[in-house]
Structure formats: C-alpha cells, structure tokens
C-alpha cells in the first residue's frame, strides 16, 4: 500500500507557507538565521526563528496556549480546507493524529518555574499540561474533533520522521483512512543552554561537512502533512528506522545504524541507490555527526548522489526536523519547483580531507529530465536513533 502526502502546511525560518518556504529553500536563503535575543553562556548564537505573530488560540484549555501549539496551528491553517474535505469524506472517527516533538511547551514552563524562583509561587497561567509531550497531538484532535488515534512521539531529532512512519502504519493496518502527521518544536533557553553545555552549538552560521565546522544552529518550525491512501502527486515510497544504541549523545562513528536505516528505506521502496535523485542530509555541522554521515552515505551511495544539508537555512529544528526536511523534499518535488532546482548546500567550500567526498549541490544543481523523481531524507538522533524517508513524484 502506498501512502500519499496529499497536503502540506509549513512554517519555519524560511517563511510561512509552501510558496515562500520553497522559493527561499531553492535560493539557499540564510537570512532567516538571526541572533537569539539573549546571550547563551556569554555567546550570541544564530538561530532559525519564526518571525511575526502566530495564530491565537480561541478559548484555550489550561496549559494549551503555548508557542509550540501556535506554530502547529499556523501550519494547520494552510491545509485547513484539505482537512475539512477529509473530515467530510472519511468522517472524524477515521482520522488520526501523530506528531513528533521534543520541546512542547517547555518555553512557557521554564518561564513559570523562573517566576516561582523569583516570586515564591508559580504564575497563575502556569499549567503542567503545557509541557506534556502529547500536547500538540491533543490540540489538533480536540480542535478538529477527530476520533482516530492521537499521540505524539519523542525520539529526539528523529521524532517527526517517525511520526510519518507511524502514520503510514495506521493507514496500512486499516485503523485510519487519513492521518494528520508531522512535527513541531520551539526555540527556548533550555534547549540552547543544553546544547551549548554539550559544546555542540556554533557562534556563527553552521557549516555542514566543512573542515571548519564548529557545531549546530538551533531552529524552530512546524510541518504538517495530510496522509491518505488517495493518489496525490507526492508519495511516501519508503521508510527505514534503526537504533544502534551506540551512545547517549554521540553517533556510532562507523555509521552502522544510519547505513541500516538508509538501506531499509531503499528496500522498502523497492529502489536501488541509483534511483535516488537527491538526498537531504541530516548535516548538523557537528564534528562527529557529519563524519559519521559522510561514511554512511559513501557506503550506501558509492557512485555518489546529489545532496545538501538544510540546517544553515532553517536551523536544526530537533523534533520537527524529520517532517520539516521531508517537507523540503515535498516542495522540491511539487509544482512550486517547475525548473527542477535542487536546494543548494550552503558552506564555506572547504572540504574535510578526512571524510569521503560528497556530491554537494550548488546554486545551479537541477534534477535530470525524466518523468519520475525520488528523494531521500535522513534524520539521526541521540541514543543512536536513525530514520530515513523516501518521497517520490510523477512529473
């Protein structure tokens, strides 16, 4: 059974909505990366922040009004007509919700706890529910009155890639006829302080796969798909997942789990490495992750594959990254990209001689002239958690 990605709502540092995000993605626009408002460990850190006002929640339940939920509502607004059509066609009981996240409402929760430390009591608007992992999935299910399974996944930076895999499983099992699936995560001090404590953040724009790479830039955003069995221009053709459990934060330097996830996705899609037209790299710009991914990609694609990292464009959106970068592939496969351009890899051009060379895209990179296109996207996470998705289209 093929699962189709019938609709997409997206918001991130590249902009709001399919058209804006796609245009800036394909231009390699890094202007959305801006300094975080306050210093972190004495440093000014670039982050991929969403600018402007977000949708307000009408009559929010206790703990429901968080930036994370408002980012998700902004993505929902773009596909509301598609969702309402699905409700009319399938019925609310046959539509599920699966969302990947890692921060949920920690931004608001941390502010509440800081208030308690300063004033001796939690603020009146503090509620534990705002930081529950299920919060974004519950928001969509409650606001839309959906009766299918509704849950969130949190596997660090693979969370929303696994949400898409889980949504496809619900369709295949006949539990749902449609699933709202994707991911959302929000910038907050706790995340930035934590990654800085791990010496993983860069004080400059991140520089994936360069010999000069110095760490990640954190971002925020949301990507929300409507997935059904109904044919659409873009399909989820294959998926792979593994857990090598090498280390709590460091990747397996040999890339065994990453290799397994990519090969599993290819097998699931019935494709060979030569069938993949483009690979969205996880590409965090940390020393160890880029080294591992270079080895893994070289092992799976010995003949090479056009590839790039989108982290210098939107930041690393953590729990939202898997779905957001699947959305970037969806956009590159869509009618928003009639010139068949590929997202360019933004870096300083200084390759690391210790790593296998990759076929990194440039500003003039294009898809070949043919009727079908296949794109892969990688997501790798703490704890050795690995996911890989393959999207495809018919021109």
Distant-in-sequence, close-in-space partners of 322: CB < 8 Å, separation ≥ 6: 100, 157, 158, 159, 160, 161, 162, 163, 164, 183, 377, 379, 387, 389
Contact 32, 15 (CB under 8 A): yes
User: Given 157, 181, 329, 388, which residue is catalytic?
Assistant: 157
Residue 316 half-sphere exposure, CB side, CA atoms within 13 Å? 32
> Kind and range of the H or E element at 307?
strand 306-309
Question: Residue 351 CB: number of other CB atoms within 10 A?
Answer: 16
Which of 222, 219, 393 minimizes the C-alpha distance to 315?
219
Mark whether 345 is an active-site residue. Answer: no
Mark whether 288 is an active-site residue. Answer: no
Which of 25, 165, 55, 147 minimizes the C-alpha distance to 100?
165
User: Given 22, 206, 307, 316, which residue is catalytic?
Assistant: 316
Mark whether 157 is an active-site residue. Answer: yes
Phi (first) and psi of residue 108, to 5 degrees: -75, -35
Which of 328, 308, 306, 307 minimizes the C-alpha distance to 317?
328
Helices 321-333 and 18-26, packing angle to 10 deg: 80
Q: Give burial (CB, 10 Å; 0-12/13-18/19+) of 42.
A: exposed
User: Given 22, 181, 206, 282, which residue is catalytic?
Assistant: 282
Q: Which residues pair with 63 in a beta bridge?
A: none
Q: In a 3-state reduction of DSSP, which class is residue 193?
A: helix
Structure tokens given for 343: 């997202």
Which residues have a catalytic role annotated? 157, 282, 316
């Amino acid at each position: 059974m093929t699962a189709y990605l019938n609709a997409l709502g997206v918001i991130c540092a590249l902009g709001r909505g399919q058209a804006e995000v796609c245009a800036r993605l394909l231009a390699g626009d890094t202007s959305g990366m801006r300094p975080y408002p306050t210093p972190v460990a004495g440093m000014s850190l670039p982050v991929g922040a969403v600018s402007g006002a977000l949708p307000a929640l009408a009559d929010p339940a206790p703990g429901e009004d968080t930036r994370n939920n408002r980012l998700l509502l902004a993505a929902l607004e773009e596909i509301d007509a598609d969702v309402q059509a699905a409700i009319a066609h399938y019925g609310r009981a046959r539509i599920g919700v699966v969302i990947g996240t890692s921060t949920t409402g920690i931004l608001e929760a941390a502010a509440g706890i800081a208030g308690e430390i300063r004033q001796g009591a939690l603020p009146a608007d503090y509620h534990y529910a705002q930081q529950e992992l299920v919060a974004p999935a519950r928001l969509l299910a409650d606001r839309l009155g959906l009766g299918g399974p509704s849950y969130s996944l949190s596997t660090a930076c693979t969370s929303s890639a696994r949400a898409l895999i889980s949504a496809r499983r619900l369709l295949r099992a006949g539990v749902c006829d449609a699933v709202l699936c994707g991911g959302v995560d929000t910038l907050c001090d706790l995340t930035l302080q934590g990654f800085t404590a791990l010496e993983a953040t860069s004080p400059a724009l991140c520089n994936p796969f360069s010999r000069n790479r110095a760490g990640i830039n954190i971002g925020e955003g949301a990507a929300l798909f409507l997935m059904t069995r109904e044919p659409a221009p873009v399909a989820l053709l294959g998926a792979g997942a593994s857990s090598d459990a090498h280390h709590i934060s460091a990747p397996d330097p040999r890339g065994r789990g990453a290799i397994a996830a990519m090969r599993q996705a290819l097998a699931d899609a019935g494709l060979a490495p030569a069938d993949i037209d483009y690979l969205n790299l996880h590409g965090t710009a940390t020393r160890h992750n880029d080294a591992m991914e270079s080895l893994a990609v070289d092992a799976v694609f010995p003949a090479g594959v056009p590839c790039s990292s989108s982290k210098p464009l939107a930041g690393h959106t953590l729990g939202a990254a898997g779905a957001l970068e699947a959305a970037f592939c969806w956009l590159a496969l869509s009618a928003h990209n009639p010139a068949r351009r590929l997202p360019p890899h933004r870096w300083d051009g200084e390759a690391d001689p210790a790593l296998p060379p990759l076929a990194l895209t440039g500003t003039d990179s294009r898809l070949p002239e043919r009727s079908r296109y296949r794109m892969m996207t990688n997501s790798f996470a703490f704890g050795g958690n690995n996911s890989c998705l393959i999207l495809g289209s018919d021109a």
